């Protein structure tokens, strides 16, 4: 079955770094764009970053631009999020999600159809 499994979360001091991984299975990983989405404790969902199916294009939320890097290794069916210069406000559950494209009345629409269970990042001294 289609599955995404995040790992790499933990406790890190402000200014530190962490790399998250998202292992994909049950689908052709190299054919799909992938997102990272996070959720701070007791808060709503925040989109973090997106990478095209082949890694050729990447987009970031302003809140992480210049500090976080999304990447992928299609040979390993794995998505990554390198997080540097971490701040207390980066504390959250981080989810990876698969992007699906469907044509409706001749137009491509995009949505997140499969999500992992999340990995928790805590930035604290």
Partner 1 sequence: DIQMTQSPSSLSASVGDRVTITCRASQSISSYLNWYQQKPGKAPKLLIYAASSLQSGVPSRFSGSGSGTDFTLIISSLQPEDFATYYCQQSYSTPYSFGQGTKLEIK
Residue number with CB closer to partner 1 (3 or 85): 3
Nearest CA-CA partner of 43 in 113, 93, 118, 112: 93
Nearest CA-CA partner of 36 in 100, 97, 124, 102: 97
* Site residues (CB under 8 A) for partner 1, limited to 54-83: 59-62
Q: Tell me how many residues contact partner 1 (CB under 8 A).
A: 25
Binding marks (x or -) toward partner 1, 31..50, rule CB under 8 A?
----x-x------xxxx--x
Residue 30 DSSP code: G
d(CA 120, CA 18): 11
CB 94 within 8 A of CB 4: no
Q: Considering only the stretches 21-29, 72-80, 81-89, 106-114, report the one whose residues sit in contact with partner 1 under the rule CB under 8 A.
A: 106-114
d(CA 34, CA 5): 13
Half-sphere exposure of 96 (CA within 13 A, CB side): 28
Residue number with CB closer to partner 1 (41 or 75): 41
Among 2, 88, 109, 124, binds partner 1 (CB under 8 A): 109
Residue number with CB closer to partner 1 (46 or 122): 46
| Contact flag: residue 2 with partner 1 (CB under 8 A) | no
Residue ranges that bind partner 1, judged by CB under 8 A: 35, 37, 44-47, 50, 59-62, 95, 100, 102, 104, 107, 109-113, 115-118
């Amino acid at each position: 079955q289609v599955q995404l499994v995040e790992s790499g979360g933990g406790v890190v001091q402000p200014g530190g770094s962490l790399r998250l991984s998202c292992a994909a299975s049950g689908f052709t990983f190299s054919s799909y764009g992938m997102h990272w989405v996070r959720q701070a404790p007791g808060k709503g969902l925040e989109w973090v970053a997106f990478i095209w199916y082949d890694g050729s294009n990447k987009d970031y939320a302003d809140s992480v631009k210049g500090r976080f890097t999304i990447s992928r290794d299609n040979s390993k069916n794995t998505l990554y999020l390198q997080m540097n210069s971490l701040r207390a406000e980066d504390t959250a559950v981080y989810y990876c999600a698969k992007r699906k494209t469907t044509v409706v009345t001749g137009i491509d629409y995009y949505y997140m159809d499969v999500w992992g269970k999340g990995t928790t990042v805590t930035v604290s001294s």
